[in-house]
Chains A and B, each alone.
Chain A
């Protein structure tokens, strides 16, 4: 069964600090992995998308890494800001007919001043 697990479930950090969120998946065959940011009361917004051949991809202060061998991804946030407070969702796509998406349950990040 395809699964995506994220850790930690929640995280509190001080403004200006860095943090790393983890995503482990068992989706097979792998197609791509996306990280989304979801602010409270809003729909998710895509941060990065990574395919099998990509190890690292950045979007401003957000850097995603992918290890397709161990089926792990991480999202690193540098110099956190209050606006980074949100849920971060890892989504993995299977390379099969229907292009099925498997969603993680997310990491809720709170950045405190």
Chain B
């Protein structure tokens, strides 16, 4: 079974630009969660999608948005990039999205904002 894939793996953008990251979950998984990971803050929850609906949201500004498609693939968009958005963005998929479900993480997208 193929794992969670994320594209692109690396990205360099300048302040003010926008970016879209993609995540393909494990086949059969309907829940996709997104996380931001920085050295100082660790992993922080952005949002979770289940069956094309945003089910949970973390404490991030509205510049961070996402969506999920009918095939469970998910995209995350960040508009008006700031230097502080430089981070590793991880997505994770699970069957139903409860905390008892094991989440399988992708390798992440390393975003650098200059």
Contacts and interface: CB of A to CB of B under 8 A. Distances in A.
A42 B56 contact: no
Contacts of B92: 43
Nearest to B6: A43
B21 interface: no
Interface in B26-62: 40-45, 55-56
A68 interface: no
Nearest to B98: A99
B98 A43 contact: no
Contact of A103 (B43, B55, B97): B43
Contacts of B100: 32, 49
A43 B90 contact: yes
A10 to B, nearest CB: 12
A49 B103 CA distance: 11
A60 interface: no
Nearest to A93: B99
Interface in B45-104: 45, 55-56, 90, 92, 97-100, 102-104
Among all A-B residue pairs, the 5 with the closest Cβ atoms: A43-B105, A93-B99, A105-B42, A103-B43, A99-B99
Given A49-B102, A99-B98, 18 more contacts: A42-B105, A43-B4, A43-B92, A43-B104, A44-B43, A44-B90, A44-B105, A45-B105, A91-B43, A98-B55, A98-B56, A99-B56, A100-B56, A101-B99, A103-B43, A104-B42, A105-B42, A106-B42
19 contacts: A32-B99, A32-B100, A34-B99, A41-B107, A42-B105, A43-B104, A44-B43, A44-B105, A45-B105, A49-B102, A89-B43, A98-B55, A98-B56, A99-B56, A99-B98, A101-B45, A101-B99, A103-B43, A103-B45
